[in-house]
A = this chain, B = another copy of it.
Amino acid sequence: MNDKVNLWIVGSIGIDDIKTRDEDRKDLLGGSVTYCCAAASFFARTGAVGVVGTDFPEEFMNRYRRFGIDLAGLQRKEGSTFRWAGAYSDNMIDRTTLKTELGVFGEFSPELPESYRDAEFVLLGNIQPDLQLHVLGQARNAKFVAMDTMNLWLDIARESLLKVIAKVQMISLNDEEARLLTGLYHIRDCAEAILKMGPKYVAIKKGEHGSLLFSSEGVSIVPAYPVKAVTDPTGAGDTYAGAFMGYLAQKGRSDMKTLREALLYGSVMASFGVESFSLERLETLTSAEIEARLAELKAMIAF
C-alpha cells in the first residue's frame, strides 16, 4: 500500500439509506469518493481523500481494500460518518432527499499524504470550493485536474468556486448548474462561457442520456449505455467520473483521443454501477465484462 498513487480523489464518504420503487436498503457504503475510487481502481492506482467517523464499519474499509484503493488519505475522526437518505421516484431519475447528517464530514479538512503529492491526475469531488483549493494546493505535480460541484456552492461560495474553476482542466456540471454559473440559457453558450473561465474541457451531464463534452476542439456527444434495468442510480455520475479519470491516469495522457476513449469507459462503468446498490455490481465486475460492453457501446454508435 505504500507505492505512489497516480490519481487521487477527494469528496464525501457516506453511509446511505436508499429507497427505490422495488427496494428499501439501509446502511449502504456510499459517497462520491466511494463510487469514484472504486471505478477508477479498475484502471489506475487510486488514492482516496475523505473522512469517516468512528462508526464507519471495518467491513467497508475492507471493501475499499479489495478494490486496491489506497487509503492513506482517509481520515478517521471522532464522531459519526456522513449519512444520507433518499428516495427515488418510479422513473429512477427524480429523487427526494430524506436525510442529510453531515457528521464528521461537516468539519472535513482534506490533507494530502506525501505519497499522493506527485500524482498527475486529480479528481476534485463535490466539496466546499475552499477545501478543493486547499487540497489542490498541496499537489506538486497535477497535470490534469477535473472537478465536480453543485448548486449550493454557486449560491454561497461563488468567488471561491470561480478560483477553483480557473485552476482545473475540466469541469462537469448539469445543465441547471451551467446556467446558474453563467447566467446564460442555451447550453452551448453556457459551455463556451465556462471554457473562458479556465477549463479546457466542459462536460455537461445529462444522466441517462449521456453527456456532452465541449472544448476548443469542438463537441463530443458521449452516449450512455442503455442498461436493461436500473436498480439504483446513486453514484452513477461519480462512477462515470472515476472511471474516466482512472483511464486517463492509466494512460498517463489527456489528448483528445484518450479523452474520448475515457468517456466511453466512463459510460460503461456507470452502466454497470447502476445495476446494483452501492458497489455491489462493481465488486463482481471483470475486465472481460468491461471490454465486452465497451465493444457493444461502440457498435451502438458506429455510423
Residue numbers of A with Cβ under 8 A of B are 186-189, 206, 209-210, 212, 218-221, 223, 226-230, 260-261, 263-264, 296-301, 303
Distance in angstroms from A80 CB to nearest chain B CB is 37
Q: How many copies does the complex hold?
A: 2
B226-A221 in contact (CB<8A): yes
A188-B260 in contact (CB<8A): no
Distance in angstroms from A301 CB to nearest chain B CB is 5
B186-A229 in contact (CB<8A): yes
B residues in contact with A298, CB < 8 Å = 303
Closest to A296 in B: B218
B residues in contact with A189, CB < 8 Å = 228-229
Distance in angstroms from A239 CB to nearest chain B CB is 19
Closest 3 CB pairs of A and B: A209-B209, A221-B223, A221-B300
Complex CA distance for A264 and B303, rounded to whole angstroms: 8
Quick one: which of B220, B299, B303 contacts A261, CB cutoff 8 A?
A: B303
Complex CA distance for A114 and B285, rounded to whole angstroms: 60
